[in-house]
C-alpha cells in the first residue's frame, strides 16, 4: 500500500485528496507557489515545499521541480488532482521512470484520449457511438468551411487539444463560420499551443451526460453510473447532478457499457470520465447518445457520484494505484438517492461573469442538514489573478431530486462570502427556477435563464441600511458594539417624527439613493429590512449580505467639478493583463469600435468605445498588468 503521497496541485482538490489520505493514515506532502504560502492545503498537509513563483508555468507545471520534491520527501506516489499536470502524458511517463507511482492512467491512455480527433477515431473502432463530423489533417480555411456546409448548420468547432470550453465555438450559419473559426483557433493556440480543430454536428436540445468509469491493474473496469452536467456557461459546468433526470435502466446500461468499452480500449487505470452528448428533445434513448471526449483524471464533479454510491473515489484511486483490485464489482454498485453540486466562483454574475480578485474578509458556507463543502479557501485568504477563480463546491444529497435541490438552495441562501464578488445568489436562483425544478433543461438552459432575469432588482432596503451605516461612520474599532454589525435579524420601527435624509451609495459599483431617518439622535434605515442581513466591516470596508448575495458598499465620490465620472474614460473591468491594444493616441473612433482586450484567469474581455471621438491618451501598453478600474485610455 502507498504510504506517502505528494499532491501536485493546490486549492480545493489538494485539500480533498489530503482529507482521504489522512483517513487512510497516509502521509501527505503539499507543494505551493509563492502566492499560496498561506493557503489551506499547505496548512493541512504533513509537509509542504515551495516550488516557485506564482505563475503556473514557474511552479505547478514544473515537472522536474515537483519530481525533485517527491524524491526529497520520500513520496511513494503523486496525485495530480485535476488541471495542471493531471492529463500530461510526459509527466505520467517521468513518474514511472523515476519509480514514483502516478495516481492516474498511463501515458499511453492519456495520449490516446488527449486529442479529440484521435480519440474519436479510437472510439469508433471500439464500437462507441460518435457525433457526425469532420476529423482530419486538412486545416485549410476553405476546406473546413466546405466540411461545415456538408455537415449542415449548426455545427460546433472544437480544438482537438481543448478542454474547459477553450477553443470551442457554436456556428449557426455560413456567415458566422470564418470569424468563429479564427476566434477558436486563436484561443486554442493561446491555451494549448495547438490550433488544430475538428468540426462536428451540433445536437439541438443537447444534454451533457457523463459516465464515471474506473479501471484497475488487473484488466477490470466498471462504471459508477452517470452525472448530468448540462447546466453550463461558456462550456464550463456550473451545476451537476446524479443520477441524470429521465434516465432509464436500459439507457444507463447502454451508456455505462459503452464507457467501459472506451476505458478498456486504452487499458485504463484509475478514475476517468467518458462524456456523451445526448439528444434530449424527446427523452433519453439507447441510440440517442454520442461520445464527446474522455477525461483521463478525477473530475471536479466527482462528489455527486460519491454521494449516490457511498464510495470514496479518491480512496479507490489510491487502492488501485497500490495494485489492489477495485473495492466493488459492477454488480455490487447501486444508486442511493439524488445529489447536486454547484461550483462557487469568484466572479461578478451581474457583469458578464468577470473574475473577481481580492482578499476574503468573511467566509461561511453552510453545512446544515449534511450539506458537504469542498474548498481550499478560508477567512483571511486571497483570490489571486494567477489561478482558476473557483472558490468551493457545495454538495447536497437526499432521497429525492426535489429534496436535494431544496437542501442545497437553503444552504446557499445562508452562506456569506465577502471581499470578492461571488455567484452564490445566481446559483440559488437557478436551483429555484421552475423549469429546472420541472427537469426542463439542456445545455442552453443558462443562456435562456439569463435572458429572463430582471436586472433592476429592488435594492432599496440594502441602500437604506448602507446609508444609515455610512452616515454614522462605522469603523472596525467600534463595529463590535454597533447594532448594525450584529449577525442577527432586525426590524426598525420609527414614528411619524424624525428628520429624513438621503445618501448616494455605491452598491457593487452601481449608484443607489439610500434613505435614512435621524430621530432622537439615532440614525435609522428609512426602509425596514425584510430579510436577515449580516454586516461585515473590516479594514474600512463595508459589506452587507442578504439571502446568499454579498454587496460591497461605499459612498459615491464626486470630483471637484461635481461630476461622478470622467466622460470618455475607458477602464479595465477586472484585474488582468492587457492582451491587445487596437488603437493609438490620435486615432479617431466611433461608438462600438474595439479598443482593447484585457485577459485574466484565461478569459478575454473586449473593451468597446461607448462614444465617438479621438483617442487623446493611452495609459498602458500591451502586456501591462492592470487593476480593476484602472484607466486604459481616454476618448475626447
**Domain limits of the chain?**
4-103, 132-201, 337-445, 460-555, 569-635
- CA 344/CA 393 separation, integer angstroms: 6
- CA 570/CA 586 separation, integer angstroms: 15
Q: In the prediction, which pLDDT does 112 show?
A: 92
Peptide bond into 82 cis (omega under 30): no
Q: In the prediction, which pLDDT does 220 show?
A: 96
Beta bridge partners of 355: 347
Whether the per-residue pLDDT at 397 is higher than 90: the answer is yes
- CA 579/CA 450 separation, integer angstroms: 28
Query: Span 342-362, mean pLDDT?
Result: 88
Residue whose C-alpha cell is 513518474? 95
> Which segments of 298-438 does DSSP mark as H helices, in order?
302-309, 313-321, 401-413, 424-431, 434-437
Catalytic residue among 10, 227, 233, 297: 297
Query: Span 627-631, mean pLDDT?
Result: 78
Query: Span 551-561, mean pLDDT?
Result: 65
Q: In the prediction, which pLDDT does 482 show?
A: 41
Q: Sign of the C-alpha dihedral, residues 116, 117, 120, 126?
A: negative
Least confident of 192-196, 369-373, 397-401, 495-499: 495-499
pLDDT digits (tens, 9 = 90+) for 12-47: 999 999 999 999 999 999 999 999 999 999 999 999
Q: In the prediction, which pLDDT does 557 show?
A: 56
Architecture of domain 132-201: 2-Layer Sandwich (3.30)
Residue whose C-alpha cell is 445568489? 425
Beta bridge partners of 212: 273
pLDDT digits (tens, 9 = 90+) for 165-190: 789 999 999 999 999 999 999 999 98
Q: In the prediction, which pLDDT does 346 show?
A: 93
Q: Sign of the C-alpha dihedral, residues 102, 104, 108, 111?
A: negative
Whether the per-residue pLDDT at 65 is higher than 70: the answer is yes
Q: In the prediction, which pLDDT does 531 show?
A: 67
Q: In the prediction, which pLDDT does 138 show?
A: 95
What percentage of residues in the chain have a pLDDT greater than 90?
Answer: 62
Whether the per-residue pLDDT at 323 is higher than 70: the answer is yes
Q: Which of 99, 104, 68 is nearest to 84 (CA)?
A: 104
Q: In the prediction, which pLDDT does 602 show?
A: 61
Q: In the prediction, which pLDDT does 92 show?
A: 97
Strands 47-52 and 27-33: parallel
Q: Which of 605, 39, 573, 627 is nearest to 385 (CA)?
A: 627
The better pLDDT of the pair 13, 279 is held by 13
Q: In the prediction, which pLDDT does 540 show?
A: 66
pLDDT digits (tens, 9 = 90+) for 111-127: 999 887 788 889 999 99
Query: Span 425-436, mean pLDDT?
Result: 93
Element (H, E) at 35: none
CA 350 to chain centre: 16
Whether the per-residue pLDDT at 529 is higher than 70: the answer is no
Q: How confident is the model at residue 533 (pLDDT cuts 50, 70, 90)?
A: confident
Q: Highest mean pLDDT: which of 498-507, 528-537, 584-593?
A: 584-593
The better pLDDT of the pair 495, 242 is held by 242
CATH, domain range 337-445:
3.30.470.20
Residue whose C-alpha cell is 493583463? 577
Q: How confident is the model at residue 530 (pLDDT cuts 50, 70, 90)?
A: low
Q: In the prediction, which pLDDT does 551 show?
A: 85
Average pLDDT of the chain is 88
Report phi then psi at 485, rounded to 5. Answer: -95, 5
Would you call 297 a catalytic residue per the annotation?
yes
What is the rounded end-to-end Cα distance, in angstroms, of the chain? 69
Contact between residue 344 and residue 371 where contact means Cβ atoms under 8 Å apart: no
Contact between residue 2 and residue 380 where contact means Cβ atoms under 8 Å apart: no
- CA 506/CA 338 separation, integer angstroms: 41
CA 72 to chain centre: 34
Contact between residue 431 and residue 394 where contact means Cβ atoms under 8 Å apart: no
Contact between residue 142 and residue 117 where contact means Cβ atoms under 8 Å apart: no
Contact between residue 404 and residue 340 where contact means Cβ atoms under 8 Å apart: yes
The better pLDDT of the pair 549, 558 is held by 549
Say whether 617 sits in a helix, a strand or coil. strand
Q: Domain 569-635 maps to which CATH number in 3.30.200.20, 3.40.50.300, 2.40.50.100, 3.40.50.880?
A: 2.40.50.100
Contact between residue 37 and residue 51 where contact means Cβ atoms under 8 Å apart: no
C-alpha cell belonging to residue 164: 474547459
- CA 512/CA 451 separation, integer angstroms: 24
> Which segments of 310-388 does DSSP mark as H helices, in order?
313-321
Say whether 452 sits in a helix, a strand or coil. coil
Contact between residue 333 and residue 309 where contact means Cβ atoms under 8 Å apart: yes
Report phi then psi at 548, rounded to 5. Answer: 85, -5
- CA 226/CA 256 separation, integer angstroms: 8
Task: Count other C-beta atoms under 10 Å from residue 34's C-beta.
Answer: 14
Q: How confident is the model at residue 614 (pLDDT cuts 50, 70, 90)?
A: very high
Residues 6+ apart with CB under 8 A from 612: 589, 590, 591, 635
Report phi then psi at 398, rounded to 5. Answer: -155, 175
CA 450 to chain centre: 17
pLDDT digits (tens, 9 = 90+) for 197-207: 999 988 888 99
What percentage of residues in the chain have a pLDDT greater than 70?
Answer: 92
Q: In the prediction, which pLDDT does 490 show?
A: 39
The better pLDDT of the pair 425, 222 is held by 222
Whether the per-residue pLDDT at 486 is higher than 50: the answer is no
CATH T-level fold of 4-103 = Rossmann fold (3.40.50)
Q: CA geometry: angle at 552 spanning 550 and 553, to 5°?
A: 130
Query: Span 573-582, mean pLDDT?
Result: 85
Say whether 15 sits in a helix, a strand or coil. helix
pLDDT digits (tens, 9 = 90+) for 78-102: 999 999 999 999 999 999 999 999 9
- CA 372/CA 393 separation, integer angstroms: 8
Residue whose C-alpha cell is 458537504? 372
DSSP collapsed to 3 states, 475-518: CHHHHCCCHHHCCCCCCCCCCCCCEEEEEEEEECCEEEEEEEEE
* pTM, entire model: 0.80
Query: Span 462-478, mean pLDDT?
Result: 70
Element (H, E) at 550: strand 549-555
Amino acid at each position: 500500500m502507498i504510504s506517502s503521497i505528494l499532491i501536485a496541485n493546490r486549492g480545493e482538490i489538494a485539500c480533498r485528496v489530503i482529507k482521504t489520505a489522512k483517513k487512510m493514515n497516509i502521509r501527505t506532502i503539499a507543494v505551493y507557489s509563492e502566492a499560496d504560502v498561506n493557503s489551506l492545503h499547505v496548512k493541512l498537509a504533513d509537509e509542504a515545499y515551495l516550488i516557485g513563483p506564482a505563475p503556473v508555468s514557474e511552479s505547478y507545471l514544473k515537472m522536474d521541480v515537483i519530481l525533485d520534491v517527491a524524491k526529497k520527501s520520500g513520496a511513494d506516489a503523486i496525485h495530480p488532482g485535476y488541471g495542471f499536470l493531471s492529463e500530461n502524458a510526459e509527466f505520467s511517463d517521468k513518474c514511472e521512470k523515476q519509480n514514483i507511482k502516478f495516481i492516474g492512467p498511463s501515458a499511453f491512455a492519456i495520449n490516446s484520449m488527449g486529442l479529440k480527433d484521435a480519440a474519436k477515431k479510437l472510439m469508433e473502432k471500439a464500437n462507441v457511438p460518435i457525433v457526425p463530423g469532420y476529423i482530419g489533417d486538412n486545416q485549410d480555411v476553405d476546406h473546413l468551411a466546405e466540411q461545415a456546409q456538408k455537415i449542415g448548420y449548426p455545427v460546433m468547432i472544437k480544438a482537438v487539444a481543448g478542454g474547459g470550453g477553450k477553443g470551442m465555438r457554436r456556428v449557426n450559419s455560413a456567415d458566422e463560420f470564418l470569424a468563429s473559426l479564427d476566434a477558436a483557433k486563436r484561443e486554442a493556440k493561446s491555451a494549448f499551443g495547438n490550433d488544430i480543430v475538428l468540426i462536428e454536428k451540433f445536437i439541438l436540445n443537447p444534454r451533457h451526460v457523463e459516465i464515471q468509469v474506473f479501471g484497475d491493474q488487473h484488466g477490470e473496469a466498471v462504471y459508477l453510473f452517470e452525472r448530468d452536467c448540462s447546466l453550463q456557461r461558456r462550456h464550463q459546468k456550473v451545476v451537476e447532478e446524479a443520477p441524470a433526470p429521465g434516465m432509464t435502466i436500459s439507457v444507463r446500461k447502454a451508456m455505462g457499457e459503452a464507457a467501459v468499452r472506451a476505458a478498456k480500449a486504452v487499458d485504463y487505470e484509475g478514475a476517468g470520465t467518458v462524456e456523451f452528448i445526448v439528444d434530449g428533445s424527446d427523452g433519453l434513448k439507447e441510440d440517442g447518445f454520442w461520445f464527446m471526449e474522455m477525461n483521463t483524471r478525477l473530475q471536479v464533479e466527482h462528489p455527486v457520484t460519491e454521494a449516490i454510491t457511498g464510495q470514496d473515489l479518491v480512496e479507490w484511486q489510491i487502492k488501485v494505484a497500490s495494485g489492489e483490485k477495485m473495492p466493488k464489482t459492477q454488480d455490487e454498485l447501486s444508486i442511493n438517492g439524488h445529489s447536486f453540486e454547484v461550483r462557487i466562483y469568484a466572479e461578478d454574475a451581474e457583469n458578464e461573469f468577470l473574475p473577481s480578485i481580492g482578499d476574503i474578509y468573511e467566509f461561511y458556507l453552510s453545512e446544515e442538514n449534511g450539506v458537504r463543502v469542498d474548498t481550499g479557501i478560508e477567512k483571511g485568504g486571497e483570490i489571486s489573478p494567477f489561478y482558476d477563480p473557483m472558490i468551493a463546491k457545495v454538495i447536497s444529497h437526499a432521497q429525492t431530486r426535489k429534496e436535494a435541490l431544496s437542501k442545497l438552495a437553503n444552504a446557499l441562501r445562508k452562506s456569506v462570502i465577502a471581499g470578492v464578488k461571488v455567484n452564490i445568489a445566481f446559483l440559488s436562483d437557478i436551483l429555484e427556477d421552475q423549469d429546472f425544478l420541472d427537469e426542463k433543461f439542456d445545455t442552453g438552459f443558462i443562456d435562456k435563464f439569463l435572458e429572463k432575469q430582471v436586472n433592476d432588482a429592488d435594492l432599496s432596503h440594502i441602500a437604506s441600511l448602507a446609508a444609515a451605516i455610512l452616515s454614522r461612520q462605522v469603523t472596525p474599532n467600534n463595529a463590535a458594539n454597533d447594532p448594525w454589525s450584529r449577525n442577527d435579524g432586525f426590524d426598525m420601527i420609527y414614528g411619524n417624527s424624525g428628520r429624513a435624509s438621503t445618501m448616494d451609495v455605491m452598491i457593487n459599483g452601481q449608484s443607489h439613493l439610500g434613505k435614512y431617518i435621524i430621530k432622537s439622535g439615532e440614525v435609522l434605515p428609512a426602509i425596514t429590512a425584510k430579510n436577515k442581513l449580516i454586516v461585515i466591516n473590516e479594514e474600512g470596508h463595508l459589506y452587507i449580505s442578504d439571502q446568499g448575495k454579498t454587496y460591497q458598499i461605499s459612498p459615491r465620490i464626486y470630483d471637484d467639478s461635481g461630476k461622478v465620472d470622467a466622460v470618455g474614460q475607458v477602464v479595465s473591468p477586472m484585474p488582468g493583463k492587457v492582451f491587445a491594444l487596437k488603437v493609438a493616441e490620435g486615432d479617431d473612433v466611433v461608438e462600438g469600435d474595439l479598443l482593447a482586450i484585457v485577459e485574466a484567469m484565461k478569459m478575454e474581455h473586449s473593451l468597446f468605445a461607448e462614444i465617438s471621438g479621438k483617442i487623446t491618451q493611452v495609459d498602458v501598453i500591451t502586456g501591462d498588468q492592470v487593476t480593476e478600474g484602472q484607466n486604459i485610455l481616454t476618448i475626447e
